[in-house]
Amino acid sequence: GENVEQHPSTLSVQEGDSAVIKCTYSDSASNYFPWYKQELGKRPQLIIDIRSNVGEKKDQRIAVTLNKTAKHFSLHITETQPEDSAVYFCAASITRANTGNQFYFGTGTSLTVIP
């Protein structure tokens, strides 16, 4: 099955700096890569996603890049703010019309933005 590795497990940055979280996956059939943010005591929520036919996607201060050849994808947060402090999970999924998605999550990165 799919194996997703995520690094680093913890990350501290100064407010205004950038943060980068990296994930690798093992199954070349994976075609959907979402990122979830989980604030303390709250539910995970999707912040950005990318499909395998796209190399990069941006949404304001957040961007995700995908390298299919190397089987890795990264989350980039620019101009970090204290409210970006949370645990971030990457995931890889194979999307099939008849069997839906089976998601494999990384172990999470705890991001702390220091004011």
Task: By CB under 8 A, name the binding residues for other proteins.
Answer: 1, 6, 9, 32, 34, 36, 42-46, 49, 51, 89, 91, 93, 95, 97, 99-108
Task: List the one residue out of 105, 109, 19 whose CA is nearest residue 64.
Answer: 19
Give the shortest CB-74-to-other proteins separation in angstroms: 17
Distance from C-alpha of 94 to C-alpha of 28, rounded to nearest angstrom: 9
User: Of the two residues 73 and 89, which places its CB atom closer to other proteins in the complex?
Assistant: 89
User: Of the two residues 14 and 98, which places its CB atom closer to other proteins in the complex?
Assistant: 98
